[in-house]
Chains A and B, each alone.
Chain A
């Protein structure tokens, strides 16, 4: 609770915030919801000269639908992701996964861009965006660029953002015809970060998988797509998935007070199977 005093900057645009970051030489942080930054400040992990609040910047909120894609503003709060009628209808994996984040209090304040930029490898939104093949629109005071989720998330709390760069928006495909989705997670207590989590999408025809996408969180240094398992599911019905999915390979799971690396690796496969099964069942009904 003994947070060191800092200078508080209220930005009126993302460009203004980026300009403060550019001139601060690493001693400034942006705050949107603050649900990761302020716990770190309270724990004494930060020593900041300035905090730049982008919470009153106009725009960059809500969901726009265009040509089979959904563009979500980075300042959209988790509770709005959970309740947005366009997302619920067009990409329900996002609201479903968001409901697993923290408690209602965290979801009231936390933002999409904040969670992605924090890049916790056990967080729900980086996982879902990796599964969906999302594109992040990044902005500085003078330029913008687009980076795919799997290129953006590099390692533990490490991503492709430059020091003066912010996430402005996220673009995901809408759920197409014949596609289903699934999300599965376990944690020690509801609302904790995941011991492991899985997000899956499957396109189904005549009860069999045509193509699938699967990503895991909490079991690796970043959210991880599992191409081998994805291709192994091709042609399978929901009841055949268990026999098709082998052990999950290539994880760098860690042991901590919540779970051993061995347990994480074991539940990774269990959750992958559950998420894929739900995705195929929903795809059959779609």
Chain B
């Protein structure tokens, strides 16, 4: 049984191994942003409701604001930046968001992308639009620009995220 205020946490963030010692009270979101310098996941509500901090932990969606980094020590974390092609150009899902104008202020976009990546990754059939809308119920866009977001996810179906 280990016990400390500071803990060493090793995560593979978008394919890059990061090992840092930091306060055990840090959420995965704060660890990513303040310790690892990965700033695409955003802090919205702090309650796991708004979805703007959505990242994948070992392929599954979580609200990074309500997971401690220490809890997921050793995991592979994917953020919206991890959806890029290896050469840094936009991946298919990012490109679909760009082409469909699926961002207004852009604050919810990293979370929307990760929700979409999870949804399309788990789908065993081509999703109907109502299923895409249902899958987005936990991600809020305060610009209310949901239509183009649904368009983008629909357009990206069939291409690897």
Interface residues of A (CB under 8 A from B): 1, 3-12, 16, 31, 34-35, 38-39, 41-43, 50-51, 53, 55, 79, 102-106, 108-109, 189-191
Contacts and interface: CB of A to CB of B under 8 A. Distances in A.
A104 B118 contact: yes
B16 interface: no
A9 B5 CA distance: 9
A35 B48 contact: yes
A39 B57 CA distance: 19
Interface string B3-24: 1110100000000000000011
Nearest to B72: A55
* Dominant SS among interface residues on chain A: mixed
Given A6-B5, A39-B46, A104 B25 contact: no
* Dominant SS among interface residues on chain B: mixed
Given A6-B25, A9-B1, 16 more contacts: A5-B5, A7-B4, A10-B1, A10-B70, A11-B1, A34-B68, A38-B48, A38-B68, A39-B47, A43-B47, A104-B61, A104-B118, A104-B138, A106-B63, A108-B62, A109-B66
B61 A108 contact: yes
A3 B138 contact: no
B57 to A, nearest CB: 8
The size class of the interface chain B forms with chain A is: 35 or more
Contacts, number: 109
Given A4-B25, A34-B68, A51-B24, A105 B3 contact: no
B137 A189 contact: yes
Contact of A8 (B5, B66, B115, B135): B5
Contact of A42 (B5, B61, B65, B71): B65
B38 interface: no
A5 B5 CA distance: 7
